[in-house]
Amino acid sequence: MDPTMDDTTFRPSSILIFGATGQIGRYITEAILTANPPFGSVAAFTSPTTASSKAELLAGWAEKGLRVIQGDVQAGPEVLKAYEGVDTVISCLGRNVLLHQVELLRWADSSPSVKWFFPSEYGTDIEYCDKSRDERPHQMKLAVRKFVAEEVKAFQVTYLVTGPYADMFFHLKEGVEDAGGFDARRQKAVVIGDSMPVGFTTMPELVFSAFYSPFSSVSHYTDAGIFAHGWKCQKFSSCQFSWGTKKGRLHIVIFTQEPPPHFLPNCPAAVPSTQHLVLISPPPTRIVFLSSIRPPVLTYPHHSVGKGVVAALRHPEACPDRKAIKMQSFVVTPREILGAFEDLTAGAWAHVRYSTLDQVRELERRLWKEGSPDATVVTLKRIWAEGGTLYEKTDNEAIGLGEKDMESLKDVVGRAVKGG
């Protein structure tokens, strides 16, 4: 650990993020950029390819103060140049490239300015118990922790462990149903295990906010100007639209769980067309169709893990060197999840069955033998169902997170029902 980092006085002032535009990284980056009070300098290191393919996202963040550094994450001189003046590094690299962090850590160890490093964890606790060291999905993260323990000398390292994302746990995938899940649209559920509780964090849907002037609208609003009408996309079943007025302009909000690259090319808010929209609530008093349309502005609500990273950054005194900080939104059993879904729909679901842990383990063995990409998720679901997310106490309070800061089971089930 860097002896110059006094956790009673140190506060991050220059942050560098790797993997900022990824599935989890975008939420963490958004949370850091919108934190109040702000964190001084915030930069994202990204490849030229990503800078081009996600130019709109990065441009929006640049307006919030993000500095974009283009380079090769495997090129030492380029990374060392990016480290200049940086005191805190946040890695959000995806599962397939986690081992790149070994060199990022090695180079950071030779940087005179880096004092704090968050490796990419943000998921299941990879050192929960003795069995954890043998779990296949954990091996790359364990290799990174081994390097930290043996080689890193010059700075503090913090691991943020969130447990499973409820949205991921809910997903009922065809062909691997024995791994469990909940499908609100079909009112179908497969419940794993004997109701062992699971500790969750949440991943809210992406939100696209499209703003239009009063003379460039694809729809109109009620005379009362209330958010009273919803639109359903005929192309993407997970997308929904609501609208009303905001600051004298028509405001359309598009809720989706589709990743932006798959969503935007056919989004009716991004092109002058309403061909994919159908009204799914009572009709407005009048509808206006005009042609001048502006592309949507992509925004993200604060993902719980984004809140967790910001909270940890605010409380270095609660983050001892090499410690895993454990945060959760809520702890519930799979049966309680089913009950929450049934409460928010039409009552008891007709298509419910139960999957034993032995069935999950057999599915897991078969998928690994076949080399299936679903094997990792099924292994994780088995770990969660065995109790691998439960603690006597989390670190939520230590890093300043209260119950009001986190989503509840009702929140995330309500979103799933709405999107289903």
182-211 in b/e form (b: 16+ CB < 10 A) is: bbbeebbbbbbbeebebbbbbbbbbebebb
Q: What are phi and psi of 269, to 5 degrees?
A: -80, -15
CA 75 to chain centre: 27
Phi-psi region of 304 (alpha: psi -120 to 50; beta: other; left: phi over 0): alpha
Please count the other Cβ atoms lying within 10 Å of the Cβ belonging to residue 41.
16
Active site (annotated) includes residue 141: yes
Catalytic residue selected from 115, 141, 326, 381: 141
Rounded to whole angstroms, the Cα distance separating 192 from 334 reads 7
List, in sequence order, every residue forming a beta bridge with 249; answer none if it has no partner. 246
Rounded to whole angstroms, the Cα distance separating 376 from 43 reads 32
User: Which positions ≥6 away from 84 have C-beta within 8 Å?
Assistant: 111, 113
Token representation of residue 252? 């359309």
Q: Please give the positions annotated as active site.
A: 141
